[in-house]
């Protein structure tokens, strides 16, 4: 039996912050009590805050490590381990690793499939005990593609697919209603000429018209086969949200308008926004600002998106905005846990996983002093 006693900590509970003591035993939180412990060997946290380990539902970080530059395929084991270590260092103890399914096999203007092979490598490292934190799969089902159905067919209930998001990056709608934003992004990343970009847009719209509706139905069916939560992506209108509700969507990733966020609230769909949007003060795609949704009470979950360290920073930004630390911390802990159907983590309570972060603030910024996953210090 392995036991750790933490005392002198400010424990962020569901609705309160208390000075208290935690007993960790065999990877679980065994006891939560108010006040200090006099037990010899207890570790004094000197008033530092302890929160539940952060839960990340949507991150591009693994893809960034796999392809650090356009068309650079980094050795996958090294990339996965670097990704895992980076997340542990910023307080994330559970991650749903986003991998795109649905490809365009065109040598000059496309991209190939990778999710099936990469997920096997990830789970092999997990089986060998090489990973520090908890990993699940998040399949980003791109309906504007050619191969979505065949790629989804390669996965099954045994693959720990926890989340399937319905992605549609067709130019002129959702995230890229402003096609000039897409043009700037694609030309910077892939070096396209104006003529090549125009051809690219025509190709994507044709793919959507040819396959989109069928692919959307296939993705919903696959998610149910996996036993995964279904998420929508970039809902823009009330009609988009109505369709999401019909599909059984539980999480709306990055709705682009106040209208869509309000419709999600009425439909009982949790609203998730990106931490970079919140910290930067706006969307790089020109869509609704996360802080505006937060001020209107329409923000439930925060995702680090493409900057892992932004998750902790955004939680404390919200704590200041709302003047409510437990509510803010919930957006990166208990709320994503609930949305993903994980009732064994995301809160500091007896019987739950001992996934914890020790954090303090220095000139307003959060500073992480320790990270524990299943009671084992990993950062």
Q: What is the pLDDT of residues 144-192, one digit of tens each?
A: 788 899 999 999 999 999 999 998 866 656 666 666 666 666 666 666 7
In the predicted structure, residue 7 carries a pLDDT above the cut 60: yes
User: Alpha-carbon distance 98 to 90, whole Å?
Assistant: 18
Could you give the count of Cα atoms lying within 13 Å of 371 in the half-sphere of its Cβ?
Answer: 23
In the numeric block, the tokens 């439909």 are attached to: 267
| 325: enclosing H helix or E strand | helix 325-330
What is the percentage of the chain residues whose pLDDT exceeds 70? 92
What's the structural domain count of the chain?
1
pTM of the model: 0.90
Domain that holds residue 361: 3-377
Give residue 104's pLDDT.
Answer: 80
User: Alpha-carbon distance 94 to 317, whole Å?
Assistant: 21
In the predicted structure, residue 64 carries a pLDDT above the cut 60: yes
Phi/psi region, residue 104 (left: phi>0; alpha: psi -120 to 50; beta: rest), is beta
Taking each helix axis from N to C end, the angle separating 194-226 and 179-190, rounded to the nearest 10 degrees, works out to: 100
**C-beta of residue 214 within 8 angstroms of C-beta of residue 148:** no
**Backbone φ, ψ for residue 58 (5° rounding):** -145, 105
CATH of residue 8's domain is 3.20.20.140
- pLDDT bin (cut points 50, 70, 90) of residue 8 is very high
């Amino acid at each position: 039996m392995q036991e750790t006693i933490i005392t002198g900590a400010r424990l962020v509970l569901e609705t309160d912050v208390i000075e208290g003591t935690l007993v960790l035993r065999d990877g679980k939180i065994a006891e939560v009590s108010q006040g200090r412990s006099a037990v010899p060997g207890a570790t004094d946290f000197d008033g530092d805050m302890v929160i539940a380990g952060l839960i990340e539902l949507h991150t591009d970080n693994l893809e960034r490590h796999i392809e650090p530059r356009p068309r650079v395929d980094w050795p996958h084991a090294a990339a996965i381990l670097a990704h895992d270590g980076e997340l542990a260092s910023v307080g994330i103890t559970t991650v749903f690793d986003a991998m795109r399914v649905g490809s365009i096999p065109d040598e000059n203007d496309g991209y190939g499939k990778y999710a099936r092979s990469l997920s096997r490598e990830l789970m092999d490292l997990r089986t060998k005990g090489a990973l520090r934190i908890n990993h699940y799969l998040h399949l980003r089902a791109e309906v504007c593609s050619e191969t979505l159905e065949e790629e989804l067919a390669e996965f099954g209930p045994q693959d720990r697919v926890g989340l399937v998001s319905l992605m549609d990056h067709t130019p002129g709608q959702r995230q890229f209603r402003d096609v000039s934003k897409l043009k700037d992004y694609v030309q910077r990343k892939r070096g396209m000429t104006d003529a090549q970009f125009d051809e690219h847009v025509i190709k994507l719209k044709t793919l959507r018209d040819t396959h989109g509706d069928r692919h959307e139905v296939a993705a919903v069916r696959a998610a149910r086969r996996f036993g995964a939560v279904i998420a929508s992506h970039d809902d823009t209108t009330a009609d988009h949200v109505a369709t999401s509700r019909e599909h059984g969507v539980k999480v709306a990733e990055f709705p682009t308008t106040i209208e869509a966020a309000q419709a999600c609230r009425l439909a009982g769909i949790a609203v998730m926004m990106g931490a970079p949007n919140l910290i930067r003060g706006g969307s790089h795609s020109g869509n609704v600002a996360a802080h505006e949704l937060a001020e209107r009470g329409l923000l439930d979950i925060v995702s680090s998106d493409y900057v892992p360290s932004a998750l902790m920073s955004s939680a404390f930004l919200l704590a200041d905005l709302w003047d409510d630390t437990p509510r803010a911390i919930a957006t990166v802990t208990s709320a994503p846990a609930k949305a993903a159907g994980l009732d064994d983590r995301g809160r500091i309570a007896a019987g739950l996983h001992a996934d914890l972060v020790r954090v303090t603030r220095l000139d307003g910024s959060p500073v992480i002093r320790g990270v524990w996953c299943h009671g084992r210090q990993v950062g």
